[in-house]
Structure 1
Amino acid sequence: MAELTSLVIVVDDDAHLREALGNLFRSVGMRVELFGSTSALLDRPATVTAASCLVLDIRLPGVSGLDFQNQLANLGNNIPIIFMTGHGDVPMSVRAMKAGAIDFLTKPFRDQDMLDAVSNALVLDRARRTSDGELSALVKRYESLTSREREVIALVTSGLMNKQIAGELGLSEITVKIHRGHLMEKMGVRTLAELVKAYEALRPVLNK
Protein backbone atom coordinates (compact mmCIF):
# COMPACT_ATOMS: atom_id res chain seq x y z
CA MET A 1 0.00 0.00 0.00
CA ALA A 2 1.24 3.51 -0.78
CA GLU A 3 2.11 5.91 2.01
CA LEU A 4 -0.83 7.98 3.16
CA THR A 5 1.19 11.13 2.53
CA SER A 6 1.70 10.33 -1.17
CA LEU A 7 -0.26 12.73 -3.36
CA VAL A 8 -1.62 12.11 -6.83
CA ILE A 9 -2.86 15.15 -8.76
CA VAL A 10 -5.26 14.38 -11.61
CA VAL A 11 -6.06 16.88 -14.38
CA ASP A 12 -8.72 15.84 -16.90
CA ASP A 13 -11.79 17.65 -18.22
CA ASP A 14 -13.82 14.40 -18.09
CA ALA A 15 -15.54 14.54 -14.69
CA HIS A 16 -16.43 10.83 -14.70
CA LEU A 17 -12.84 9.78 -15.37
CA ARG A 18 -11.54 12.19 -12.73
CA GLU A 19 -13.82 10.72 -10.08
CA ALA A 20 -13.02 7.15 -11.14
CA LEU A 21 -9.31 7.81 -10.83
CA GLY A 22 -9.84 9.57 -7.52
CA ASN A 23 -11.63 6.51 -6.15
CA LEU A 24 -8.94 4.20 -7.53
CA PHE A 25 -6.07 6.03 -5.88
CA ARG A 26 -7.89 6.49 -2.58
CA SER A 27 -8.61 2.76 -2.51
CA VAL A 28 -4.87 2.09 -2.11
CA GLY A 29 -4.30 4.82 0.48
CA MET A 30 -3.12 7.70 -1.71
CA ARG A 31 -4.24 11.28 -1.27
CA VAL A 32 -5.81 12.73 -4.39
CA GLU A 33 -6.54 16.18 -5.76
CA LEU A 34 -8.75 16.46 -8.85
CA PHE A 35 -8.81 19.33 -11.35
CA GLY A 36 -10.77 19.90 -14.56
CA SER A 37 -8.13 22.16 -16.13
CA THR A 38 -4.53 23.23 -15.79
CA SER A 39 -5.61 26.75 -14.82
CA ALA A 40 -7.54 25.32 -11.86
CA LEU A 41 -4.42 23.44 -10.79
CA LEU A 42 -2.31 26.59 -10.98
CA ASP A 43 -4.71 28.30 -8.57
CA ARG A 44 -3.86 25.79 -5.80
CA PRO A 45 -1.10 26.54 -3.26
CA ALA A 46 2.17 25.63 -4.91
CA THR A 47 3.93 23.86 -2.05
CA VAL A 48 3.74 20.07 -1.98
CA THR A 49 5.98 18.51 0.68
CA ALA A 50 5.03 14.85 0.13
CA ALA A 51 6.04 12.55 -2.69
CA SER A 52 3.68 13.35 -5.54
CA CYS A 53 2.96 12.90 -9.23
CA LEU A 54 0.72 14.42 -11.87
CA VAL A 55 -1.70 12.36 -13.98
CA LEU A 56 -2.43 14.64 -16.91
CA ASP A 57 -4.64 14.36 -19.98
CA ILE A 58 -2.62 15.28 -23.04
CA ARG A 59 -5.60 17.01 -24.71
CA LEU A 60 -7.22 19.67 -22.55
CA PRO A 61 -9.25 22.79 -23.28
CA GLY A 62 -7.11 25.91 -23.21
CA VAL A 63 -3.55 24.94 -22.34
CA SER A 64 -2.73 21.44 -23.62
CA GLY A 65 -0.99 18.84 -21.50
CA LEU A 66 2.23 19.29 -23.51
CA ASP A 67 2.16 23.07 -23.08
CA PHE A 68 1.53 22.67 -19.37
CA GLN A 69 4.47 20.27 -19.12
CA ASN A 70 6.65 22.99 -20.63
CA GLN A 71 5.24 25.60 -18.23
CA LEU A 72 6.08 23.44 -15.23
CA ALA A 73 9.60 22.84 -16.52
CA ASN A 74 10.11 26.59 -16.96
CA LEU A 75 8.92 27.12 -13.37
CA GLY A 76 11.45 24.56 -12.14
CA ASN A 77 8.68 22.19 -11.04
CA ASN A 78 10.01 18.63 -11.40
CA ILE A 79 6.88 16.70 -10.44
CA PRO A 80 6.76 13.39 -12.36
CA ILE A 81 4.08 13.41 -15.07
CA ILE A 82 2.03 10.49 -16.39
CA PHE A 83 0.08 11.38 -19.52
CA MET A 84 -3.30 9.92 -20.46
CA THR A 85 -3.80 9.84 -24.22
CA GLY A 86 -6.22 8.84 -26.95
CA HIS A 87 -5.14 6.40 -29.65
CA GLY A 88 -4.35 9.22 -32.07
CA ASP A 89 -2.10 10.99 -29.59
CA VAL A 90 0.80 8.54 -29.53
CA PRO A 91 3.18 10.87 -31.47
CA MET A 92 2.35 13.61 -28.96
CA SER A 93 3.02 11.17 -26.15
CA VAL A 94 6.45 10.35 -27.54
CA ARG A 95 7.21 14.07 -27.56
CA ALA A 96 6.06 14.25 -23.95
CA MET A 97 8.34 11.39 -22.95
CA LYS A 98 11.30 13.07 -24.63
CA ALA A 99 10.45 16.19 -22.64
CA GLY A 100 10.66 14.24 -19.39
CA ALA A 101 7.30 12.55 -18.80
CA ILE A 102 7.51 9.32 -16.80
CA ASP A 103 4.91 7.32 -18.73
CA PHE A 104 1.85 7.56 -20.94
CA LEU A 105 -1.23 5.36 -20.92
CA THR A 106 -3.61 5.06 -23.85
CA LYS A 107 -7.31 5.25 -22.97
CA PRO A 108 -8.98 3.02 -22.01
CA PHE A 109 -6.30 1.67 -19.67
CA ARG A 110 -6.38 -0.98 -16.97
CA ASP A 111 -6.56 0.19 -13.36
CA GLN A 112 -3.49 -1.87 -12.50
CA ASP A 113 -1.47 -0.27 -15.30
CA MET A 114 -2.32 3.18 -13.90
CA LEU A 115 -1.49 2.12 -10.34
CA ASP A 116 1.84 0.67 -11.49
CA ALA A 117 2.72 3.87 -13.36
CA VAL A 118 1.79 6.07 -10.40
CA SER A 119 3.68 3.87 -7.92
CA ASN A 120 6.79 4.12 -10.09
CA ALA A 121 6.41 7.91 -10.36
CA LEU A 122 6.07 8.26 -6.59
CA VAL A 123 9.19 6.16 -6.01
CA LEU A 124 11.12 8.42 -8.41
CA ASP A 125 9.78 11.59 -6.76
CA ARG A 126 10.63 10.30 -3.29
CA ALA A 127 14.20 9.58 -4.42
CA ARG A 128 14.47 13.02 -6.04
CA ARG A 129 13.26 14.74 -2.88
CA THR A 130 15.78 12.82 -0.76
CA SER A 131 18.57 13.78 -3.15
CA ASP A 132 17.46 17.43 -3.21
CA GLY A 133 17.34 17.46 0.60
CA GLU A 134 20.85 16.06 0.87
CA LEU A 135 22.18 18.62 -1.62
CA SER A 136 20.46 21.45 0.25
CA ALA A 137 22.12 20.35 3.49
CA LEU A 138 25.48 20.14 1.71
CA VAL A 139 25.08 23.66 0.33
CA LYS A 140 24.35 24.99 3.84
CA ARG A 141 27.52 23.33 5.15
CA TYR A 142 29.54 24.86 2.32
CA GLU A 143 28.05 28.29 3.00
CA SER A 144 29.30 28.04 6.59
CA LEU A 145 32.91 28.04 5.33
CA THR A 146 34.99 31.21 5.46
CA SER A 147 36.27 32.67 2.20
CA ARG A 148 39.74 31.31 2.99
CA GLU A 149 38.35 27.84 3.71
CA ARG A 150 36.56 27.93 0.35
CA GLU A 151 39.87 28.69 -1.35
CA VAL A 152 41.50 25.81 0.48
CA ILE A 153 38.74 23.30 -0.30
CA ALA A 154 38.96 24.12 -4.01
CA LEU A 155 42.71 23.51 -4.02
CA VAL A 156 42.60 20.41 -1.80
CA THR A 157 40.00 18.75 -4.01
CA SER A 158 42.00 19.62 -7.14
CA GLY A 159 44.74 17.34 -5.84
CA LEU A 160 47.27 19.79 -4.38
CA MET A 161 49.28 18.92 -1.27
CA ASN A 162 49.27 21.17 1.80
CA LYS A 163 52.72 22.54 0.91
CA GLN A 164 51.56 23.42 -2.61
CA ILE A 165 48.40 25.08 -1.28
CA ALA A 166 50.50 27.10 1.15
CA GLY A 167 52.64 28.38 -1.71
CA GLU A 168 49.55 29.12 -3.83
CA LEU A 169 47.84 31.16 -1.10
CA GLY A 170 50.94 32.68 0.54
CA LEU A 171 50.30 30.88 3.84
CA SER A 172 52.35 28.66 6.11
CA GLU A 173 51.81 24.92 5.79
CA ILE A 174 50.58 24.70 9.39
CA THR A 175 47.95 27.38 8.66
CA VAL A 176 46.73 25.37 5.66
CA LYS A 177 46.46 22.28 7.88
CA ILE A 178 44.37 24.24 10.38
CA HIS A 179 42.03 25.55 7.64
CA ARG A 180 41.80 22.06 6.18
CA GLY A 181 40.84 20.55 9.53
CA HIS A 182 38.19 23.22 10.14
CA LEU A 183 36.61 22.92 6.70
CA MET A 184 36.47 19.13 6.86
CA GLU A 185 34.71 19.34 10.21
CA LYS A 186 32.22 21.90 8.85
CA MET A 187 31.59 19.79 5.74
CA GLY A 188 30.93 16.73 7.91
CA VAL A 189 33.60 14.57 6.27
CA ARG A 190 36.50 12.55 7.69
CA THR A 191 38.58 11.61 4.65
CA LEU A 192 39.89 13.30 1.53
CA ALA A 193 37.79 10.93 -0.59
CA GLU A 194 34.60 12.04 1.22
CA LEU A 195 35.60 15.69 0.79
CA VAL A 196 36.18 15.26 -2.95
CA LYS A 197 32.83 13.48 -3.33
CA ALA A 198 31.01 16.26 -1.44
CA TYR A 199 32.70 19.01 -3.45
CA GLU A 200 31.90 17.28 -6.74
CA ALA A 201 28.24 17.08 -5.70
CA LEU A 202 28.34 20.84 -5.11
CA ARG A 203 29.85 21.74 -8.50
CA PRO A 204 26.52 22.20 -10.37
CA VAL A 205 25.43 24.67 -7.67
CA LEU A 206 28.79 26.48 -7.45
CA ASN A 207 29.03 26.84 -11.24
CA LYS A 208 25.66 28.58 -11.60
Structure 2
Amino acid sequence: MPSQEPHVLIIDDDEAVRDAISLWLSCNGYHCRCFEHAEDFIGQYSSDFQGCIIADIRMPGMNGLELQSHLNRLGCKLPLIFITGHGTVPMAVQAIRNGALDYLRKPVDEQQLLRLVEQAFTLDQARATQRQAQQAQIQQLASLTHRESQVAQLVVDGLSNKVIAADLGISERTVEVHRAKVMTKLAVKTLPELVKTYLSIKPLRTQ
Protein backbone atom coordinates (compact mmCIF):
# COMPACT_ATOMS: atom_id res chain seq x y z
CA MET A 1 0.00 0.00 0.00
CA PRO A 2 1.57 3.33 -1.00
CA SER A 3 2.42 5.23 2.15
CA GLN A 4 1.17 8.53 0.72
CA GLU A 5 -2.31 7.22 -0.16
CA PRO A 6 -4.85 7.17 2.71
CA HIS A 7 -6.75 3.93 3.23
CA VAL A 8 -9.55 2.67 5.42
CA LEU A 9 -7.98 -0.31 7.19
CA ILE A 10 -10.72 -2.80 8.06
CA ILE A 11 -10.02 -5.50 10.66
CA ASP A 12 -12.77 -8.05 11.29
CA ASP A 13 -12.80 -11.84 11.45
CA ASP A 14 -16.21 -11.90 9.71
CA GLU A 15 -15.59 -11.92 5.96
CA ALA A 16 -19.13 -10.78 5.18
CA VAL A 17 -18.69 -7.70 7.39
CA ARG A 18 -15.32 -6.89 5.86
CA ASP A 19 -16.71 -7.18 2.35
CA ALA A 20 -19.82 -5.13 3.09
CA ILE A 21 -17.93 -2.26 4.71
CA SER A 22 -15.23 -2.29 2.05
CA LEU A 23 -17.80 -2.26 -0.77
CA TRP A 24 -19.80 0.58 0.80
CA LEU A 25 -16.79 2.78 1.43
CA SER A 26 -15.23 1.98 -1.95
CA CYS A 27 -18.45 3.09 -3.63
CA ASN A 28 -18.05 6.37 -1.76
CA GLY A 29 -14.53 6.98 -3.02
CA TYR A 30 -12.38 5.44 -0.28
CA HIS A 31 -9.51 3.02 -0.78
CA CYS A 32 -9.87 0.06 1.57
CA ARG A 33 -7.69 -2.76 2.77
CA CYS A 34 -9.00 -5.70 4.79
CA PHE A 35 -7.45 -7.91 7.47
CA GLU A 36 -9.02 -11.00 9.03
CA HIS A 37 -7.17 -10.78 12.34
CA ALA A 38 -5.50 -8.08 14.42
CA GLU A 39 -2.26 -10.04 14.20
CA ASP A 40 -2.40 -9.83 10.39
CA PHE A 41 -2.66 -6.07 10.60
CA ILE A 42 0.14 -5.74 13.17
CA GLY A 43 2.39 -7.84 10.95
CA GLN A 44 1.97 -5.39 8.08
CA TYR A 45 1.59 -2.15 10.04
CA SER A 46 3.79 0.78 9.08
CA SER A 47 4.08 4.19 10.70
CA ASP A 48 3.63 5.57 7.17
CA PHE A 49 0.01 4.38 7.03
CA GLN A 50 -2.53 7.17 6.55
CA GLY A 51 -6.31 7.18 6.82
CA CYS A 52 -8.13 5.37 9.62
CA ILE A 53 -8.80 1.97 11.16
CA ILE A 54 -12.15 0.21 11.52
CA ALA A 55 -11.82 -2.77 13.86
CA ASP A 56 -14.13 -5.31 15.44
CA ILE A 57 -13.73 -5.24 19.19
CA ARG A 58 -14.31 -9.00 19.63
CA MET A 59 -12.01 -11.16 17.51
CA PRO A 60 -10.21 -14.49 17.97
CA GLY A 61 -6.69 -14.05 19.26
CA MET A 62 -5.86 -10.40 19.84
CA ASN A 63 -9.12 -8.54 20.40
CA GLY A 64 -9.83 -4.94 19.47
CA LEU A 65 -8.92 -3.43 22.82
CA GLU A 66 -5.63 -5.34 22.87
CA LEU A 67 -4.96 -4.14 19.34
CA GLN A 68 -5.65 -0.57 20.43
CA SER A 69 -3.23 -0.87 23.36
CA HIS A 70 -0.56 -2.33 21.08
CA LEU A 71 -0.99 0.47 18.54
CA ASN A 72 -0.84 3.09 21.28
CA ARG A 73 2.47 1.63 22.44
CA LEU A 74 3.74 1.87 18.86
CA GLY A 75 2.78 5.54 18.78
CA CYS A 76 0.14 4.97 16.10
CA LYS A 77 -2.01 8.09 15.65
CA LEU A 78 -4.48 6.70 13.10
CA PRO A 79 -8.08 7.40 14.14
CA LEU A 80 -9.73 4.17 15.28
CA ILE A 81 -13.42 3.32 14.89
CA PHE A 82 -14.65 0.23 16.75
CA ILE A 83 -17.57 -1.90 15.60
CA THR A 84 -19.11 -4.78 17.52
CA GLY A 85 -22.13 -7.02 17.72
CA HIS A 86 -21.54 -8.05 21.31
CA GLY A 87 -20.00 -5.04 23.04
CA THR A 88 -20.67 -3.82 26.55
CA VAL A 89 -20.78 -0.34 28.02
CA PRO A 90 -17.51 -0.85 29.97
CA MET A 91 -15.79 -1.95 26.75
CA ALA A 92 -17.07 1.12 24.93
CA VAL A 93 -15.92 3.41 27.73
CA GLN A 94 -12.47 1.82 27.78
CA ALA A 95 -12.15 2.13 24.01
CA ILE A 96 -13.04 5.83 24.03
CA ARG A 97 -10.79 6.55 27.02
CA ASN A 98 -7.91 4.89 25.18
CA GLY A 99 -8.40 7.20 22.21
CA ALA A 100 -10.94 5.56 19.89
CA LEU A 101 -12.82 8.00 17.68
CA ASP A 102 -16.13 6.20 18.18
CA TYR A 103 -17.81 2.87 18.88
CA LEU A 104 -20.59 1.49 16.67
CA ARG A 105 -22.85 -1.50 17.14
CA LYS A 106 -23.56 -4.01 14.37
CA PRO A 107 -25.40 -3.93 12.09
CA VAL A 108 -23.56 -0.72 11.34
CA ASP A 109 -25.54 2.24 10.04
CA GLU A 110 -23.85 2.95 6.70
CA GLN A 111 -24.42 6.70 6.73
CA GLN A 112 -23.15 7.02 10.28
CA LEU A 113 -20.07 5.00 9.41
CA LEU A 114 -19.46 7.15 6.33
CA ARG A 115 -19.65 10.33 8.42
CA LEU A 116 -17.19 8.88 10.92
CA VAL A 117 -14.74 7.87 8.20
CA GLU A 118 -14.92 11.37 6.74
CA GLN A 119 -14.26 12.78 10.21
CA ALA A 120 -11.38 10.33 10.73
CA PHE A 121 -9.72 11.25 7.44
CA THR A 122 -10.01 14.96 8.25
CA LEU A 123 -8.48 14.34 11.67
CA ASP A 124 -5.64 12.24 10.27
CA GLN A 125 -4.83 14.89 7.65
CA ALA A 126 -4.78 17.60 10.31
CA ARG A 127 -2.40 15.52 12.43
CA ALA A 128 -0.16 14.89 9.42
CA THR A 129 -0.03 18.62 8.68
CA GLN A 130 0.86 19.30 12.31
CA ARG A 131 3.63 16.68 12.22
CA GLN A 132 5.07 18.26 9.06
CA ALA A 133 5.04 21.70 10.68
CA GLN A 134 6.73 20.32 13.79
CA GLN A 135 9.40 18.62 11.69
CA ALA A 136 10.10 21.90 9.91
CA GLN A 137 10.44 23.63 13.28
CA ILE A 138 12.82 20.94 14.53
CA GLN A 139 14.97 21.46 11.43
CA GLN A 140 14.97 25.20 12.08
CA LEU A 141 16.22 24.63 15.62
CA ALA A 142 18.83 22.15 14.40
CA SER A 143 20.17 24.81 12.01
CA LEU A 144 21.34 26.95 14.95
CA THR A 145 25.05 26.86 15.73
CA HIS A 146 26.18 25.92 19.22
CA ARG A 147 26.74 29.57 20.12
CA GLU A 148 23.40 30.62 18.65
CA SER A 149 21.69 27.92 20.71
CA GLN A 150 23.40 29.21 23.84
CA VAL A 151 22.30 32.77 23.14
CA ALA A 152 18.75 31.67 22.30
CA GLN A 153 18.42 29.74 25.55
CA LEU A 154 19.70 32.66 27.63
CA VAL A 155 17.41 35.11 25.84
CA VAL A 156 14.46 32.82 26.52
CA ASP A 157 15.58 32.64 30.16
CA GLY A 158 15.07 36.39 30.30
CA LEU A 159 18.68 37.58 30.46
CA SER A 160 19.73 40.88 28.92
CA ASN A 161 22.33 41.15 26.17
CA LYS A 162 24.77 42.57 28.71
CA VAL A 163 24.37 39.64 31.10
CA ILE A 164 24.52 37.11 28.25
CA ALA A 165 27.73 38.70 26.99
CA ALA A 166 29.30 38.45 30.44
CA ASP A 167 28.16 34.84 30.91
CA LEU A 168 29.54 33.73 27.54
CA GLY A 169 32.65 35.92 27.57
CA ILE A 170 31.74 37.74 24.36
CA SER A 171 30.82 41.32 23.48
CA GLU A 172 27.28 42.68 23.56
CA ARG A 173 27.58 43.36 19.84
CA THR A 174 28.37 39.68 19.21
CA VAL A 175 25.33 38.72 21.29
CA GLU A 176 23.19 41.02 19.15
CA VAL A 177 24.53 39.41 15.97
CA HIS A 178 23.82 35.88 17.24
CA ARG A 179 20.38 36.93 18.47
CA ALA A 180 19.52 38.39 15.06
CA LYS A 181 20.63 35.18 13.34
CA VAL A 182 18.52 33.11 15.73
CA MET A 183 15.44 35.17 14.96
CA THR A 184 16.06 34.88 11.23
CA LYS A 185 16.55 31.10 11.33
CA LEU A 186 13.46 30.59 13.50
CA ALA A 187 11.44 32.97 11.30
CA VAL A 188 10.37 35.28 14.13
CA LYS A 189 10.45 39.06 14.38
CA THR A 190 9.79 39.88 18.03
CA LEU A 191 11.06 38.69 21.39
CA PRO A 192 7.68 37.23 22.43
CA GLU A 193 7.57 35.27 19.16
CA LEU A 194 11.10 34.00 19.78
CA VAL A 195 10.26 32.83 23.30
CA LYS A 196 7.02 31.14 22.21
CA THR A 197 8.58 29.44 19.19
CA TYR A 198 11.72 28.29 21.00
CA LEU A 199 9.77 26.84 23.93
CA SER A 200 7.40 25.01 21.57
CA ILE A 201 10.17 23.53 19.42
CA LYS A 202 12.76 22.47 21.98
CA PRO A 203 10.67 19.69 23.63
CA LEU A 204 9.92 18.22 20.17
CA ARG A 205 13.61 17.74 19.48
CA THR A 206 13.94 15.40 22.46
CA GLN A 207 10.98 13.18 21.50
TM-score normalised per structure 2 = 0.91
Deviations 1:142-189 (Å, cap 9, x if unpaired)? 111111111111111222222222123222110101111112222222
Query: What are structure 2's unaligned runs of at least 5 residues?
Result: none
Indicate if the aligned counterparts of 1:5 and 1:30 stay in contact, CA closer than 8 A: no
Report matched runs for 1:90-105 at 5 Å: 90-105=89-104
Indicate if the aligned counterparts of 1:12 and 1:56 stay in contact, CA closer than 8 A: yes
Percent identity over the alignment? 40
Matched residue, 1:29? 29
What is the CA RMSD across the aligned residues, in angstroms? Answer: 1.8
Indicate if the aligned counterparts of 1:135 and 1:201 stay in contact, CA closer than 8 A: no
Runs of 4+ in 1 over 4 A off after TM superposition: none
Distance 1:206 1:45 in 2: 25
Query: What are structure 1's unaligned runs of at least 5 residues?
Result: none
Matched residue, 1:38? 38
SS of the equivalent of 1:43 reads helix
Distance 1:75 1:45 in 2: 10
Q: Which amino acid aligns with 1:85?
A: T
Matched residue, 2:57? 58
TM-score normalised per structure 1 = 0.90
Report matched runs for 1:100-119 at 5 Å: 100-119=99-118
Deviations 1:19-60 (Å, cap 9, x if unpaired)? 11101111121111111111211232615354x110011111
Matched residue, 2:198? 199
Q: What is the number of equivalent residue pairs in this alignment?
A: 204
Distance 1:35 1:207, change over 3 A: closer
Distance 1:207 1:156 in 2: 20
Distance 1:195 1:31 in 2: 43
Distance 2:128 2:87 in 1: 35
Report matched runs for 1:114-129 at 5 Å: 114-129=113-128
Measure how far apart 1:88 and its partner are.
Answer: 3.7
